[in-house]
Structure 1
């Protein structure tokens, strides 16, 4: 007998002889249950397992729309879906794999599919088409198609098992790293995001060559970075970070609109505030470390610098492995080199570069080489100074020979980091120096425009005058020692 499938206002007849619920991968597809009212289709809101949470948490006008109900419930941490979780999981599985929903995509995204060759070539009926459109959502201009894919994206990213091909590529690594056994409490069904977060941390441990780090398979590595890249515009899509930082978002970034990576950037700027929760700070640091491995994980940076990277052939070296040229340090060095040669780099791109250069100077842990090669120096002389660039300045002091000998590899890592961050071009990048020397700049260098490279020269000229303060003198000499070793 004929069933009716209801999706975002679209009614599709679904043939299912005998009225038996359809199944996908052995799981019953509850969206195909016999409708209570043929005119409007089966409704998630009418299921007993959901009703209590729904009336408590979701606005009444959303109850008739299955997708609106799903969006409302999956963003709530306090929902207890012990029975309802099975129902919602089946419904989401249906959304992402059932050919009926693919036919909606074919209908509303007709022009887009024709334009994006990779998606046009995808095999139909296996969920690959919608996954391909999610991958290319930045290039979708059709309004209806864009709306459809935005909704589908939020559902796909709510559970790592729904991300096309992710389980196949990462199953072994999930088992080896015990990521699948993560439990945040038996009633918390939002732990799906923690599996991806666990893999991301494994990737970071490997990059930093931490003792006992597991080498993640190449295909899984690509899948993890792709997920991070695809979730770079909207922090709702990084489920672990979203739930870790919900209160911090309200505290620091309440008026920052979601989209285009704005919430991530706002939270990064507040990472070392005293009121920032440790769980959120940890999630933000993992995200920043992924950006250091692949700049495309920052939506705003990739978008702002796309043209300049192409113009100055920053990714044109065929002899270099892809992983190397994707690194944030390579992007910064390539574009800084263009600026130093007097070439024009767009103001928007330079603004993004400034933010990330400041970030590198502020938190040494974002540079795997520093973490790897300066462990001994940090433990012996600089532990407990993590925030606002203080560890880095302590390491510079060790590098000058003020606190004992420094390992050659650590010295080299420091030199490279300072070259990448390029604080000589703008003292504001170095937060520790900026804070220590603010009073000196206001008195001795106030005639120089804010951010001008000559401010550093001005500070050096006043090094042994009565306008200099002791803290500024130390920070200045620490930085100057490294800048003086490389005249560029």
Structure 2
């Protein structure tokens, strides 16, 4: 009987009365004129159903179905929902398809409908059946009761959670979307919804995601986008994903209404709760899920999170990557669409961010992503700042932040505020993670709103660098080897990045990680807030001592200057706090590793780097070292900056990155107890130790050469000779320029005064060491190297090429003194000879040859002021003393050289004259003559009496008169 009634709409009670006008208007009464098919009247109902769904898909429908007829149509559809035989149009359209796909499915309770729905997009499904099924699905979307199984399974739950209250208009409460959101809200609040109902909800959520045409809002709002960008993609959710791709900005622009319609559909279907709802994603990512996420139960919300963790890894496939990012774009714009985040954070969100229920819309005034922004602001608050998130919620917020760092489009606020800047500065940066790096690089160029967002995100990264998921992935090997303890900490506080920086040049470090770490360091230089540990340690000091300074490098300079001034002035109390001083030291040391971390130096030397160090890497301070080695070829501005840098390094050798790196083991061996300021001095003292590393020794020599070019680069000498330098070398100082080397002129000046024995004891000690060192290695004497470079190449090339300098070049120059042509070079060699007279220790060749004789014949004679040299000269003349042959030969050579020097360069003072007498072969004769002359003068005075006449005592004792005082009274 039911089949007979539903075969002719005229037999359905009241239907003809309610829909008579609509049948005529829609012309549904004569679909097939002339045909008298017994089943043709079922087409009338089908025609009315199509008119009903078409009206919902048009913003301004030309023909409207009356409300009475709408109710009647939906009522007929509801009554036929039990058995597909009762929907005559669908039955005849799908008879063959039912036999093909659902042969074993028993009719009744809507089972055949569901079976056909599941096969709707099969290739072999007939087009007329697919159309009939789509119309049926659209009716279900308008009234959930058209689905028998859904209405039956969810009846009690709908009543229990008041999802069908009478005071709501039927048009709203009956809609499938309202039912889904109402029941989903109950599930998200932790309420119990029957498994049968949840199963039906899952099926219909999947149905909505598969076919965009079932959502009238999508058709209304996105018609233009579908036609322009997504035509022909109608199956298995591909149209929706195409629209998502358009919204992400990958295929063109999209209207706001379309974007909102898509966002609403994602909320209705809630694919974040179960990835299987999104068929396009499910199919694209099946292989990834089976390999990377097989440990997670199928349908678990954490599957999506697992997929995000494997984004841009070898396990991810390209199609899955696209579908995943398209879905995550929408999930990221509504925190409720991440079920795990919502479950763990709904209490915190309600308490701190004043949110509403799951299915209640937030205020239109609240920007997209505002709730999540609120959550992450509270996630990184300290206990002192109060009102922090629960531990569970904080962990979820961190998870989301780590995932969002993968793609700038997953951060709604960032994309919204920075859209213009992304187009302006970063249009060519299409690789993974490059967009955020690009925005950070152009931070100073960004509009204010974008700059604030990028600044806040960078500040957050400095506290928890694991947010930079791509960087963490690249740095996995180095983290596991050197920083695993920091990585395991739930609260990072900047420790992990500090560890990565310290281990940046380990052999385990790969290029991607090193580049990422260096980039973050460079970004940190733009604002001191971007260095979390520095900010926390020094924020009070910065406010007090360096207000209105933003850039990190300027803050470091400001605080360092304050510390140095307080130290030099012996201030009773340091103005910079102890915790800040400790962290300041860390920042200073990190900045020495790469010239780009010192912007002023880098800007001043950019062209010089290009000209002199084109292929030198920036890391390990290699560019800085290259500039030092090419100092004479640098531009004035760069030269001044490099000189200033060297001056600071010599005052504080720990800031000399290359020295500290090359001599790391030697410092541990010899200078573990030494103060950082005396590190270079300690290394110099141990330079000739037999266990000294050759590379370290070479580096120490380099630094000594640098120090000897200018007394200002030798703090120990400068302090010891602070009175001697202005006293003896004022003429050199008066012509000196700031930040430009004196090419060893002051040191040479002090050397000459050392030979004259006129220096203060402290200064004399320092100059003696310098003379001793430069006597072993000619490169430590800038004046000698400058004036004699050609002569060394001509006369002493073999000695100069020796791997280790032992004074052979100086000896060669002394031996070839007569062959030297340039006067300035000859003068320098003569000065060396003069210096050697003052102390045998400064003549290494002679000292080595005569060491045994000094021990035997001059052991009681203290060194210095030419005393041991005089002792050896006397021993040479004493016939009873037998000197070692080598010592005797060297002494005779020196006497000849000094004799020649005396002829070429006459004595400049009494000390020179005395020294020439003492070293003369006729010394005894000269001394005898001088002694006899003095004795004769004494005897003459004694024997001949006074020359002046004697005066009486009275004249001596009388008072002086005015005349005697030189004036008249």
| TM-score category, normalised to shorter length | 0.5 to 0.7
Give the match for residue 191 of structure 1. 40
- Structure 1 position 257 matched with structure 2 position 97: no
User: What is the SS of the residue equivalent to 2:150?
Assistant: helix
Higher radius of gyration, 1 or 2 = 2
Q: C-alpha offsets along residues 231-284 of structure 1, whole Å, 9 cap, x if unaligned?
A: 000000000000000000000000000000000000000000000000000000
The 5-angstrom pairing of residues 86-105 of structure 1 reads none
Q: 1:473 aligns with which of 315, 321, 342?
A: 321
Q: 1:312 aligns with which of 141, 156, 161?
A: 161
Cα distance in 1, alignment partners of residues 111 and 325 from structure 2: 35
Give the match for residue 451 of structure 1. 299
- Displacement of 1:154 in angstroms is 1.7
Give the match for residue 278 of structure 1. 127
- Displacement of 1:317 in angstroms is 6.1
User: What is the SS of the residue equivalent to 1:376?
Assistant: helix
Q: 2:310 aligns with which of 433, 449, 462?
A: 462
- Displacement of 1:213 in angstroms is 3.8
TM-score, structure 1 length as denominator? 0.68
- Displacement of 1:405 in angstroms is 1.4
Q: 1:409 aligns with which of 225, 245, 257?
A: 257
TM-score, structure 2 length as denominator? 0.34
Give the match for residue 391 of structure 1. 239
- Displacement of 1:313 in angstroms is 0.6
- Displacement of 1:295 in angstroms is 0.1
Give the match for residue 600 of structure 2. none
Q: C-alpha offsets along residues 337-360 of structure 1, whole Å, 9 cap, x if unaligned?
A: 000111000000000000000000
Cα distance in 1, alignment partners of residues 131 and 24 from structure 2: 23
Cα distance in 1, alignment partners of residues 223 and 60 from structure 2: 12
Give the match for residue 348 of structure 1. 196
Instruction: Looking at secondary structure, tell me which structure has more helix per residue.
Output: 2
Cα distance in 2, alignment partners of residues 486 and 296 from structure 1: 29
Cα distance in 1, alignment partners of residues 221 and 241 from structure 2: 16
Cα distance in 1, alignment partners of residues 275 and 292 from structure 2: 15
Give the match for residue 206 of structure 1. 55
Cα distance in 2, alignment partners of residues 184 and 384 from structure 1: 34
Q: C-alpha offsets along residues 357-376 of structure 1, whole Å, 9 cap, x if unaligned?
A: 00000000000000000000
- Structure 1 position 295 matched with structure 2 position 144: yes
Q: 1:440 aligns with which of 288, 297, 307?
A: 288
Q: C-alpha offsets along residues 391-425 of structure 1, whole Å, 9 cap, x if unaligned?
A: 00000011111112111110000000000000000
Cα distance in 1, alignment partners of residues 2 and 117 from structure 2: 24
Q: 1:227 aligns with which of 68, 76, 82?
A: 76
Cα distance in 2, alignment partners of residues 423 and 441 from structure 1: 16
- Structure 1 position 167 matched with structure 2 position 24: no
Change (3 A) 1:358 1:185: farther
Total equivalences in the alignment: 336
- Displacement of 1:211 in angstroms is 6.3
- Displacement of 1:210 in angstroms is 6.2
Cα distance in 1, alignment partners of residues 230 and 330 from structure 2: 18
Cα distance in 2, alignment partners of residues 184 and 449 from structure 1: 57
Say if 1:184 and 1:191, in contact at 8 Å, map to a contact too.
no
Give the match for residue 230 of structure 2. 382
Structure 1, unmatched stretches of 5+, are: 1-151
Q: C-alpha offsets along residues 184-221 of structure 1, whole Å, 9 cap, x if unaligned?
A: 87253311110000000000011111665411111111
Q: C-alpha offsets along residues 155-177 of structure 1, whole Å, 9 cap, x if unaligned?
A: 21111111111111111000000
RMSD, aligned α-carbons: 1.1
Change (3 A) 1:259 1:414: same
- Structure 1 position 182 matched with structure 2 position 31: yes
Cα distance in 1, alignment partners of residues 220 and 271 from structure 2: 23
User: What is the SS of the residue equivalent to 1:180?
Assistant: coil
Give the match for residue 703 of structure 2. none
Say if 1:205 and 1:213, in contact at 8 Å, map to a contact too.
no
Say if 1:202 and 1:213, in contact at 8 Å, map to a contact too.
no
Give the match for residue 64 of structure 2. 215
User: What is the SS of the residue equivalent to 1:474?
Assistant: helix
Give the match for residue 91 of structure 2. 242
Cα distance in 2, alignment partners of residues 303 and 187 from structure 1: 38
- Structure 1 position 269 matched with structure 2 position 139: no
Cα distance in 2, alignment partners of residues 243 and 317 from structure 1: 37
Q: For CA contacts below 8 A with separation 6 or more, give which structure has more relative contact order.
A: 1
